[in-house]
Every structure is written in structure tokens, then in C-alpha cells.
Amino acid sequence: MEPVAKLEEGRLWVKARGLALSSTVDGGVREVEGAVFVQLRGHKTCAEMEREAVPGHLTFYTAVDVARHHAVLRGGGVLVAATAGLRNTINVLAVLAVEPDLRALADAFRLAVEAKAAAAADLGLRRGGRRVGGDVSDAVAVVAAGGERRRYVGLETEVGDELFRLVHDAVLKALGGLDVDQELRLSLGLGYGDLLSLILQAYAQAPVPGAQNAEEEARRLLDAVLRDPNVWAFIYAAGELDAKAAAGAYRGLTPEEHAADSKKIVADESLAVALAEYIGGFKAVLTLYWLDRQKPGPLAGLPMFADDVAAALAAGVLTKLYDRLIHGV
């Protein structure tokens, strides 16, 4: 029977009869009629969720609006349904039009988990500064809906390749994209409001006499800078370097040295200088030095590369703000 997905009264139902391997609260290895994705309203214990699971179905729970944050993708032999929320639950169901043995079913489950983790890494999810493959409440399931018998479904197989690709893409599609604030928080550890506050705090120490609408101009200039994909190259670089160092995978730099902002590393300052100069020229480099010496407000406590790149962003915008308010350029 061809698997069918249907959104009904805020729930996503997938009709897919077969043998399932699942990590849902009602999971394990068992025969199912399909699955349902349910928005969880209010706190419930695992025992309560088990009791309220839909009979005969794998029940995925999430705090996100299922209608807004779901994706269903279909290939030649695989259907994938997913729900996703940033720093929230990522749920994935993969239905395979094959008849695998238990070893192959377990391998398909492994692939689905790896694809979900790859999507989470591409999104920049972090915990304690390290990359993570999802959140604490994620669930994954694979259902063998019947068809050609398979002993292998790894990446070298057509089914495995399709499974990995569809799971990865479904997670990204279900999330619906990240806004600027979310991207900044993931890569630098501070949000848009924090960055704007940093710029305005620095400006307040040396305001332009008689100048009007400084906050409005600062916001407009910051928005313009954050529309530049070249600027995002520096932001992403900072996030990736901090994640690699926090994980102990940065050659020549221990996690402890990274946490202590070791003085033997000058690449963080070099990255910041290049970004500041790109945004606002040599004056922005001088402003960067001023901000970096003070480490005001939101900069305190940021990781090694993030604090310098955040300071460079603020310095570049602050320099442009002075140019605008003093010289009108």
C-alpha cells in the first residue's frame, strides 16, 4: 500500500502499514498502521505521553505548530515526514517501500539519524559550544512498508542514498529557515538585539552633539551590513572555529586554552580586523580596538572567535553611524 500523508486538525497523519523501528515514546520494534505528529500543549511526563499515544500508530510529540513546521518529501522508494523547531524537537519518520531484514532496518534507522544530525550540524545547532545532532527530545522512526527484499540499505544503495537526502532536506524544510537573530545566536552566541544594544552603548559614550535618530540610523546600518553575504562568511567562520575548538578538534589548541582565550592565538583578532576594515575601513579597525579593550555588555563571556567578530560587526556599524551623523555619508 502506498504511504499517504495528511494534515488534519493540526495533526500530521501518515498511513504506512509495516514493521517499524522507532525511538518514539511508544516505539521499539513492532507492526504499525502508520504514524501521527502531535503538537504538545503544556508539560506532560513521558508516562502521560505513552498513555495518550494513538493506538496502532507511532506517536511523535513536539512543541512546535505541526501545521506550520512540517515537511513531507517523497522519492522513488522513500517517503519522509518531519517536524522541526529550532532548539526544539526534531522528529523524523521514513517509510521505505522495501522488505528489509532486521539488520537492514537497523541500518536504515542509522542512516535516518545520521541525516538528521547532518541537518542539525548544517543549521549550526550547539550545546555547550559544541555541535550537536539534535535536541534532547528528538525521535526517529523507519517503517518497512513492503516490497523488494533487501539485506542492505546503506549509502551505496539507491534506497539508502534517497533516504539520507530526503531526511536531511525534510528537516531543513520543516524548520522553515532561520531569521537573522537565530543565525547570529547560533554562530556568535548573541542576538540581533544584543548587537544593536552594544552599538548604542558604545555610541552613548561619545554621542554626536545635536544629532537626531541615532538609534534608527544604527538599526538601518546594521540591517544593511547583515544583508551582505560576505559579512556572513566571517560570522559563520567564527561559529565553526569556536565549535571545532570547543570539541577539542582544533590542532594545537586545547579546549581549555580556547575557553581561556589563549594569547597564542591571534587568528581571532586577524579575522576581526579584516571584517572591521571590510565594513568601515581603517577607522573601523581603530574602533574595534576600542571596543575590544573594553569588552562591554554582550561581548563578555562570548567564545574566542565570536567575541572578536561580534566586536568587529559593532565597530564597523558604529563607524558608519558616526560618518552618517557627522558627515551625512
Predicted confidence at residue 86, as pLDDT, reads 82
- Side chain identity at 202, as an amino acid letter? A
Q: Say yes or no to pLDDT of 193 above 80.
A: yes
Query: CB of 284 within 8 A of CB of 316?
Result: yes
Query: CB of 94 within 8 A of CB of 166?
Result: yes
**Length of the chain as a residue count:** 329
Question: In this structure, what is the dihedral angle of CA atoms 316, 318, 323, 329, given to the nearest 10 degrees?
Answer: 70
Which of the pair, 136 or 276, is modelled with greater confidence? 276
Q: Nearest CA to 36 among 14, 20, 17?
A: 14
67-81, 116-130, 211-225, 271-285: segment of lowest average pLDDT: 116-130
Predicted confidence at residue 21, as pLDDT, reads 97
Q: What is the mean pLDDT of residues 268-295?
A: 94
Query: Where does residue 219 rank: exposed (0-12), middle (13-18), buried (19+ CB within 10 A)?
Result: middle
Enter the pTM of the model.
0.87
173, three cell numbers: 524544510
Predicted confidence at residue 16, as pLDDT, reads 94
7 vs 35, 36, 72, 324, CA distance in Å? 12, 10, 10, 51
- How confident is the model over 27-58, as pLDDT tens digits? 999 999 999 999 998 888 888 888 989 999 99
Q: Say yes or no to pLDDT of 100 above 70.
A: yes
Predicted confidence at residue 296, as pLDDT, reads 80
Residue ranges and CATH numbers for the domains of the chain are 4-175 (no CATH), 180-327 (1.10.3760.10)
